[in-house]
Structure 1
């Protein structure tokens, strides 16, 4: 019997693709697993311990199984950083047979000491010199350290400090200066390596080359001059494709540093097991994967936390789109001159008061203008039990946000626990940041998901541009330009969280509080105490 093939069109539906939230959650679990393993194994082959000497927090790393006296290096961080950011150098050098001491300079990290003048001026120089002296003295006192073979490494503010210290202490055998900018002292320390990122501001690149040419006028980058045995060696390298922070994690930087100290300090001690691989990104990269996991998983967690809240009984009337886009531009322009009049000593943290004031003024102007248009209102989320549930959800989500930032940062790249006056300064900074995100939510209210994301991104980008303008015209410290990447990352992070909270129909104030804590916490724990 002849059969006829059925050629009628199939009417069955395609299998549904997994929801985006499920995909994001799975990616979050993968990132969290890889990041956790990376951090758990980052200290393999290294012995590490922390201590406080004369008020200076120190962290000492050395290769496990040491049997000889080791050459040693003190590592100093830059402004608004901490010893955690410099751990990659401890990992690289300790595995090559060095003892490495990381220091939290005054006003930074775990140090509660005040840094005069936010790092500028004779008083600040004296304080930084004193901290380095404590670190070098502590290192020399270790019985397994060769006191005749000690070097220094510093970044940015720390680079200027180690140059100054090595000039005054000729017993320091070698110095590495990363992104120190222009200096008149670079010709005097023994065996000096100068590094800068190819994408840094021109002053940092010119500073490295200028310091080299102060000793060898016809010198070129990438060429070593002088004799390390006589202490006259000099070399400058521009590391391609990296900026002020990225230069700390580039493999070329770490290879140059390791080679320089090997040649100047005589290499590792006999009997020390060497693991010479360079893995500068492993620790910080693992922490970043945990941050990414937090961002990807936030939507699913927020949905689970908020699923039992009643839907709002009354929606806001939305602000017309031209106003939603135009109001923020005007608010940013109005906030820029405010930064110039905010008292620098209003908060005990450098740069923090102008930044907080800027975000606070923008937020107040956004909220006020939305109120004047008659299109802002509080949605009805039910009675007392609903309000209690909402407050409980807010506590959970705020705690999740803090942990998502603080734990990976503390383990991987930044001191993230508020100490000293940082704890109370966190409150006004959070209030200003929450006002900013509350203003964003006021303008996003009533819009669909995509339009709200667009408005949020527009306002965040405008705020970053405003901060840049303030720094360029002198209304705020130019240091804001160096922390702009951190602020940009935090604004993007909150953009994702805000979209997830809107999808879960969270009240606008909850989104504002979560965002306020996310933006304020890193500012409060990184800006130096002054």
Structure 2
């Protein structure tokens, strides 16, 4: 007599019964690229300070870093560099590297809400209270730089990006002693008269949103009607110089690492400070050494994850899929419904759910998708319980899995945080960030747990496609939420970071599926990977 289990389709093939291959030519190539990337990245970071020296301090509650040439003669002109929203001084270090090698003293500053600064940024950087706080932090940095005995206090300039660009324009307009100002992606805003602020260079990426490109051109034409990009107007000696440049082929973040951006910045300060021949046209231009080296270390971590995970978890025992798969229409349809539900939920998720601007809505969005996906998948599988196979986590003991889990979590954190801290972003949680990190990680883990529930039972290629479909749908849903006004528009600017993190997690998830690791491990690792950057970069607000 046949039982229900006997007649249930097993869907096994020779491929699914065969143990996964752990040492393949493709894995060998990945490991080789990983080793080369790690070596080149490490050397790049180790040599990034050649010819310059850095010192850090906290002045009146404001974290600053002063960078100057190792061989200083006489009093140097100074430049204070300000970052944008959801950024830190690390993202702006390329400008300090460029200018210091050309004979400048540069002070990087973590403005309120960003980086190592634990002070709250009012109203997510938008409004009079935020303007006043940013002006106060800039004033602290300018006064500190002027107090250095080897700095020429009469030759001080400002450079800012995005929110920081708007802040330096306001500050320089109110303080005529600022000799020159450079804005990168300041957006649409009034910028004073022909002589306020003095000697203003306006930069924007050619691939940025129209408001940023138009902001640079409009600011030029406010002083010189009919002004054209790429042309300098006015007299630097009189402080009336204006120039707008659209840097081709770059967007809101990559504009900071364009060689042309750095050449324009260096030439502008040289001319404004009477140093038109300082160092030559291309001397000292190293816009990508730190960030590029950090990215190589990130790449090494991604490519080596599979080998490290297999060494920790070992070969799985048993064969076949560990769970009956959902029908493909459901595996593709459930995430679409979940994303639409999350878009609708954005209208009611409080924007200040967490003490970090933007982080609360993002966490809620991914959490809703995860909850809906998990609920539907578990309901369907419960209804089909008679045909489901028992999951055994690859036949591993709990101690082995637990040790591997802790090690992989620490590795995931280190592979993001260490290169980021050294190269492009402050990555150490401060202030309220640690407990916010836990909340964001829980929501992100629910999202990735839901993705794995959809992928369970499918072969490698199909699971990868379902994973990509769900991740792409989530990013598209965030775009829709912004268009509907239920999500902050700033989400669009961090979308490239989110996309990169989702790709990183997809590689980890594919490796863990091959190893038949338990779903909860994939979810936890993914939650930590997505949550850490959000919790440490979104401004405290």
| Bin for the TM-score computed over the shorter chain | over 0.9
| Distance in 1, Cα, partners of 2:361 & 2:192 | 33
Q: Does 1:261 align with 2:261?
A: no
| Counterpart position of 1:380 | 392
Structure 2 unmatched runs, 5+: 1-22
- 1:398 matched to which residue of 2? 409
Specify every segment of 5 or more residues in structure 1 that has no aligned partner in the other structure, as ranges. Answer: 1-16
- Give 2:334's match in structure 1, choosing from 327, 342, 353: 327
Aligned with residue 287 of structure 2, among 256, 259, 280: 280
- Aligned residue number for residue 290 of structure 1: 297
Correspondence 1:414-493 to 2 at 5 A = 414-493=425-504
- Paired residue for 1:516, among 506, 514, 527? 527
Give 1:229's match in structure 2, choosing from 220, 237, 242.
237
The equivalences for 1:76-155 within 5 A come to: 76-155=82-161
List 4+ stretches of structure 1 deviating above 6 A: 272-275
> TM-score normalized by structure 1?
0.94
1:21-69 per-residue CA deviation (whole Å, 9 max, x = no partner) reads 1111111000000000000001100011111000000010000110210
Q: 1:206 aligns with which of 205, 214, 237?
A: 214
CA-to-aligned-CA distance 1:297-356 (integer Å, 9 cap, x gap): 001101111106655897211001111011101110110021121112210000111100
Distance of aligned partners of 1:487 and 1:343 in 2 relative to their CA distance in 1, 3 Å threshold: same
Partner of 2:331, secondary structure, is helix
**Partner SS state of residue 171, structure 1:** coil
Contact 2:123 2:130 in 1 (8 A): yes
Query: Is the 8 Å Cα contact of residues 81 and 526 (structure 1) preserved in structure 2?
Result: yes
**Contact in 2 for aligned 1:179/1:205 (Cα 8 Å):** yes
From 208, 215, 218, the counterpart of 2:223: 215
Distance 2:524 2:359 in 1: 19
Measured in 2, the distance between the counterparts of 1:24 and 1:392 equals 25
Cα 1:257–1:314 change in 2 (3 A) is closer
Contact between 1:96 and 1:275, CA under 8 Å: does it hold in 2? no
Question: RMSD in angstroms over aligned alpha carbons?
Answer: 1.9
The SS at the match of 1:184 is coil
After superposition, give the CA deviation of every residue in 1:175-213 in whole Å (9 maximum; x if it has no partner): 001100011124320000000000000000000000000
Task: Sort the Cα spacing of 1:41 and 1:186 in 2 relative to 1 into closer, same or farther, 3 A.
Answer: farther
What does 1:9-48 correspond to in 2, within 5 Å?
Answer: 19-48=25-54
Equivalent in the alignment of 1:354: 361
SS in 2 for 1:453: helix
Counterpart residue number, 2:164 = 158
What's the offset of the Cα at 1:382? 8.2
Q: In structure 1, what is the Cα distance between the partners aligned to 2:291 and 2:380?
A: 46
Once residues 299 and 65 of structure 2 are traced to their aligned partners in structure 1, the CA distance between those partners, rounded to angstroms, is 27
Judged with a 3 Å threshold, the aligned counterparts in structure 2 of structure 1 residues 292 and 355 are, in CA distance, closer, same or farther, namely: same
Q: Is the 8 A contact 2:99 2:284 kept in 1?
A: no
Per-residue CA deviation, residues 365-389 of structure 1 (Å, 9 max, x unaligned), is: 0000101112687612489x81121
Deviations 1:470-519 (A, max 9, x none): 01110110000000000000000000110011111111110010000000
Query: Residue 497 of structure 1: SS of its match in structure 2?
Result: helix
Alignment check: 8 A CA contact 1:186 1:212 kept: no
Change (3 A) 1:501 1:381: closer
For residues 240-275 of structure 1, give each alpha carbon's deviation from its aligned partner in whole angstroms, at most 9, with x where no partner exists: 0100001000000000000000000122999x9999
Question: Quick one: structure 1 residues 314 and 199, their matched pair in 2 at CA, closer, same or farther if it must change by over 3 Å?
Answer: closer
Equivalent in the alignment of 1:412: 423
Q: Distance in 1 between matches of 2:430 and 2:281?
A: 37
SS at match of 2:237: coil
Q: How many residues align?
A: 512
Q: Which whole-Å CA distance do the structure 1 matches of 2:89 and 2:284 have between them?
A: 21
Q: Are residues 1:243 and 2:231 paired?
A: no
C-alpha contact 2:315 2:515 (8 A) present in aligned 1: no
Identify if the C-alpha distance between structure 1 residues 393 and 310 changes in structure 2 by more than 3 Å, giving closer, same or farther: farther
Tell me, yes or no, if the aligned pair for 1:182 and 1:203 is still in contact at 8 Å.
yes
Report the TM-score when normalising by structure 2: 0.92
